[in-house]
Amino acid sequence: MTPSQIEQLPALARLIRYHCLTMTTWAGSGHPTSSLSAADLMTALLFGGTFRYDLDNPGHPNNDRLIFSKGHASPLFYALWAATGRITEEELNTYRQFGSRLQGHPTSAFPYADAATGSLGQGLGIGLGMAINARRLDRLPYRTYVLLGDSEMAEGSQWESIQLAAYNKLDNLIGILDVNRLGQRGETMLGHDIAAHARRIEAFGWETIQIDGHDFPQILDAFDRAARADRPVMIVARTVKGKGISFLEDADGWHGKALDEKQLEAALGELGPVDRNLTGAVPPPEDLRPATPDAAEAGPVAYEQGRMVATRAAYGNALRRLHPQHPQVVALDGEVSNSTGTATFAKADPQDFFEMFIAEQNMVEVATGLALRGKHPFVSTFAAFFSRAFDQIRMSQYSHASITFVGSHAGVSIGEDGPSQMGLEDIAMFRAILHATVLHPCDAVSTEKLTEAALGRAGIVYLRTLRQATPVIYGNDEVFPIGGCKILRQSEDDIATIVAAGATVHEALTAYAGLREAGLFVRVIDAYSIKPIDAATLRTAAEATGALITVEDHYPAGGLGEAVLAAVAPIRPVIVSVLAIRQIPMSGAGDHLRDFFGISARAIMREVENLADPSRTDLWKNREAG
């Protein structure tokens, strides 16, 4: 970097502060003081010669990556790119307005935003995913820089990321911790004690560099040292919130508040002359690109009908089978790969398997980072444990990340392990995400076919698998389009339709056989696609049979039953009976628990006989006696 470029940094920082102040006043909201504290750090990073980026190609695979984990400092983020000449001042003045790319917190609507941020404590994990991608997958020399706020260091997800980065020896990951002392409602946990921050981070195996975050020579030296380190680096910078404006500096009560026009006039007077035509230079990266692996055709699905196979095992088989044809597939697991089925993939393709240990929040963040660098992550753990990472899952949709989540050990059917391990809220959780897809196969063939279907689906996909082995009921050539279902049994004499998914499909088939012996005929539907659900088929069944019985190994709120109710709502009249888990579960054998909680074949038969004739309560008793 030339001396003239170094001398230009204070002028660029003044311009960037000017934009942070004016755009927030124009918007009437925002976080100018949080932006001012980090303005010198980010000016030195982008225009100090360390950061390499093709400004005309934000998607260049060897660009350095920049993530604002403290996404509320978006005025600074946008002002930086304005100082490169890639945003006009006119566009800056659309900040936070309806339809603007410059939203209140960065999203993928803005092409220079590497990830959607703003829910604090997630940016470092996303950056970790990008750094892993550079080091282990694309084998490119780009670095990932993450701006962190001191308040968000209270988040446990930060420490998950910090320890995983050290474990993976990621010397291409650099955090910049903006220690400005003040949070939203007062002083942070450690205030301005940057040494305490450094000690904690060093304890996890990072190198730390303590600096004055407003001293350009110190900042430039820190970035130079970080680029030469042999492990992850955290630059711990002591800064002043509201830096550059006397009445804002280190002043409580200004978080998230824009200046009014009179205050802005005073602030700009203090800021001094600003060259609004000034632009900073960013050196380009080397024009390096990842090697493109050769794709090979995937092998066939091959299961014998009637064979007992756990769907979690079939999922692992599917990943291994599909990977040669889809080399962008990577698998992440939360230290339960021998239970979820991904151990099969890990053994076959260890270079594309990532052990995330028991750190589900970080696992989802890393998956988001990988997805944003062109990979398709399959993220696996017990269905129940995804609830720990719901915030990370919902945030990934705002980055437009395509990720398949696979939750095993669903429902009370897992048996003796008890309620802490039973996924009973997971369908509701994923159905709540706007454009998510929710799939629940019942056998090995449908699991393999739906795993493959997930690869062609953009956004969030949830695949629910089972602990117990279930019989293969489908032929290997059966197709399973997302949004479809399978009618397994039907006749002109059907008096009701049983709608099931996963384990309850087999209960429904057993109930069908028993009811047929008693002279009662029912339709049986495998609703393997819960979202989107096959509303047309369900409505046809409702009109033909007059009653639907949904059966699910899940709590009633947000589950299969509610999905079916919404689908058939336009049909009048129709009876919909929802069989679901309605009590707090307990340990026990899976078949006994399904019966006890009313989702077994026995329970289905009782429900059908009541629908057929409320006075006929002796049907099951007669069958038992016979």
Check residue 94 and give its pLDDT. 98
User: CA 413 → CA 211, 247, 422, 441, distances in Å?
Assistant: 55, 62, 8, 15
Angle at 101 between CA 96 and CA 105, to 5 degrees: 55
Residue 285 falls inside a structural domain = no
Same domain, 344 and 450: yes
Query: Is there a single domain that holds both residue 117 and residue 257?
Result: yes
Q: 149 lies in a domain?
A: yes
- pLDDT at position 625 over 80: no
% of the chain residues with pLDDT over 90: 95
Residue 618 has pLDDT above 50, yes or no: no
Which of 152, 155, 360, 607 is flagged as catalytic? 360
Q: Is the pLDDT of residue 595 over 60?
A: yes
- Is 499 in a helix, a strand, or coil? strand
- Check residue 517 and give its pLDDT: 97
Q: Are residues 551 and 576 in the same domain?
A: yes
Q: Per the domain annotation, does 287 fall within a domain? A: no
Mean pLDDT of the chain: 96
Asked if 312 and 247 sit in the same domain, the reply is: no
What is the reported pLDDT for 294?
Answer: 85
Question: Are residue 48 and residue 177 in the same domain, yes or no?
Answer: yes
* Number of domains within the chain: 3
Residues 319 and 173 in one domain: no
Q: Can you spell out the DSSP letters for 224-291?
A: HHHHT-SS-EEEEEE--TTTT-TTTTT-TT-TT----HHHHHHHHHHH----TT-----PPPP-----
- Is 295 part of a structural domain of the chain? no
CB within 8 A of 625, min separation 6: which ones? none
Residue 292 resides in a domain: no
624 pLDDT higher than 60: no
Tell me which amino acid residue 427 is: I
Average pLDDT value for residue range 433-443: 98
What is d(CA 361, CA 156) in angstroms, rounded to the nearest whole number?
9
Q: Given this model, what pLDDT does residue 233 score?
A: 98
Q: What is the CB neighbour count within 10 angstroms for residue 422? A: 27
Q: Which of 414, 447, 471 corresponds to the end of one domain?
A: 471
Q: Quick: pLDDT tens for 150-187.
A: 999 999 999 999 999 999 999 999 999 999 999 999 99
The CA-atom distances, in angstroms, between 325 and each of 289, 329, 343, 548 are 21, 9, 19, 41
pLDDT at 615: 59
Q: Rounded distance, CA 543 to CA 538, Å? A: 9
Residues 207 and 313 in one domain: no
> Which pLDDT does position 291 carry in this prediction?
87
The pLDDT confidence band at residue 292, using thresholds 50, 70 and 90, is confident
CA–CA distance, 21 with 25 (Å, rounded to integer): 6
pLDDT in tens, 500-555: 999 999 999 999 999 999 999 999 999 999 999 999 999 999 999 999 999 999 99
Say yes or no: 492 and 465 in one domain. Answer: no
* Domain limits for position 331: 308-471
Residue 477, in any domain of the structure:
no
Q: Does residue 616 register a pLDDT over 90?
A: no
Q: What is the pLDDT of residues 18-62, one digit of tens each?
A: 999 999 999 999 999 999 999 999 999 999 999 999 999 999 999
CA–CA separation, 135 and 245 (whole Å): 42
Which of 471, 496, 530 lies at the terminal end of a domain, its last residue?
Answer: 471
Going by DSSP bridges, is the β-strand pair 308-310/469-471 parallel, antiparallel, or unpaired?
antiparallel
Alpha-carbon distance 538 to 490, whole Å?
A: 13
pLDDT for res 611: 86
Look up the CATH number of the domain holding residue 605: 3.40.50.920
Q: Is 452 a catalytic residue?
A: no
CA–CA separation, 40 and 53 (whole Å): 19
Residue 572 has pLDDT above 80, yes or no: no
Q: Write down which residue in 223, 246, 271 finishes a domain.
A: 271
Is-contact 413 468, C-beta < 8 A? yes
Tell me: do 64 and 163 sit in the same domain.
Answer: yes
Examine the pLDDT at 559 and tell me if it is beyond 90.
Answer: yes
Q: Are residues 460 and 498 in the same domain?
A: no
Mean pLDDT computed over 190-216 = 98
What is the CATH classification number for the domain harbouring 21? 3.40.50.970
Same domain for 34 and 125?
Answer: yes
113 and 162 in a single domain? The answer is yes
Tell me the per-residue pLDDT of 375-410, one tens digit each, with 9 for 90 and over. Answer: 999 999 999 999 999 999 999 999 999 999 999 999
Check whether 332 has a pLDDT greater than 70: yes
Q: Is residue 280 over pLDDT 50?
A: yes
pTM of the model: 0.96
Asked if residue 42 is part of any domain, the answer here is: yes
The Cβ of residue 309 has, within 10 Å, a number of other Cβ atoms equal to 19
Query: Does the pLDDT at position 617 exceed 60?
Result: no
Does residue 241 contact residue 36 with C-beta atoms inside 8 Å?
yes
291: in domain: no
